[in-house]
């Protein structure tokens, strides 16, 4: 079986290959991101649309991730990518810097759809929002600290080992093996 990973990001496909025994193929299909505060709903809707529109038989996988800041009621959450492009990471830090509670988490949902069965797999990593540090990673990594290091200060191996996406992919891999 081949898993068709719907993304324009080759890095995600490489990461998925590290977890899955099956072949993973990248599909560049721009699915509709429905407006919802639920990552699972966004990912499942995207997976069903991609399956219907790309005309293959093999199962498709879509993942959706975001940063959820407690003091901001979960913002930017599902809008993380849009907020990164518009507000910017530095100013998300400015929104949080006067707050006493700086707790946050990254969440990722991996959605699988094979034409009949839809399943979601969730991964999260807890941390707190700090002033930007570090040169690595992408997105909100410089302002997200986990166990003393920002994600931008971690090695790629360390980040993958603790990341929300890694945790969701590990659950997905277990489920694939069992089924």
Q: From the annotation, which residues make up the binding site for Mg(2+)?
A: 33, 64
Residue in 106, 113, 121, 172 binding ligand IMP, rule: CB under 6 A:
106
Q: What is the DSSP letter of 78?
A: G
Check residue 80 for interaction with ligand IMP (CB under 6 A).
Answer: yes
Nearer to ligand IMP, 68 or 115 (CB): 68
Binding mask of the shown chain, residues 134 to 163, with x at each position contacting ligand IMP by CB under 6 A: ---xxxxx---------x-----------x
Kindly give, in sequence order, each residue whose CB lies less than 8 Å from that of residue 10, ignoring residues fewer than 6 positions away: 26
Does residue 50 contact residue 33 with C-beta atoms inside 8 Å?
Answer: no
**Which residues carry out catalysis?**
64
- For residue 161, give both structure tokens: 């080992």
- Pairing type for strands 60-69 and 103-113 reads antiparallel
Q: By CB under 6 A, which span of 44-52, 65-73, 126-134, 169-177 interacts with ligand IMP?
A: 65-73
Q: What is the DSSP letter of 117?
A: -
Nearest approach, Cβ of residue 83 and ligand IMP (Å)? 7
Nearer to ligand IMP, 102 or 179 (CB): 102
Nearer to ligand IMP, 4 or 165 (CB): 165
Residue in 20, 27, 62, 65 binding ligand IMP, rule: CB under 6 A:
65
Burial annotation 43-65 (CB, 10 A radius, 16+ → b, else e) = bbbbbbbbbeeeeeebbbbbbbb
Nearer to ligand IMP, 40 or 139 (CB): 139
Q: Establish how many alpha carbons lie within 13 A of residue 73's alpha carbon, considering only the half-sphere containing its beta carbon.
A: 1
Report the Cα–Cα distance between both ends of the chain, in Å, rounded.
12
Residue with smallest beta-carbon separation from ligand IMP: 139
Binding residue ranges for substrate = 7-12, 65, 138-141, 159, 164-165
């Amino acid at each position: 079986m081949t898993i068709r990973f719907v993304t324009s990001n080759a890095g995600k496909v490489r990461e998925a290959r590290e977890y899955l025994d099956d072949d993973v193929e990248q599909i560049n299909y721009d699915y509709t991101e429905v407006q919802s505060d639920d990552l699972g709903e966004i990912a499942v809707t995207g997976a069903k649309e991609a399956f219907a529109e790309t005309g293959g038989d093999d199962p498709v996988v879509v993942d959706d991730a975001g940063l959820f800041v407690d003091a901001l009621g979960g913002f930017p959450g599902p809008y993380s990518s849009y907020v990164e492009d518009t507000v910017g990471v530095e100013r998300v830090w400015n929104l949080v810097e006067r707050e006493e509670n700086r707790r946050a988490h990254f969440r990722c949902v991996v959605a699988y759809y094979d034409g009949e069965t839809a399943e979601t797999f969730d991964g999260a990593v807890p941390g707190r929002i700090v002033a930007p540090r570090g040169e690595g990673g992408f997105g909100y990594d410089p302002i997200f600290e986990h166990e003393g290091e920002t994600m931008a200060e971690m090695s790629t191996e360390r980040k993958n080992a603790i990341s929300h996406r890694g945790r969701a992919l590990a659950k997905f891999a277990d489920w694939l093996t069992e089924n």
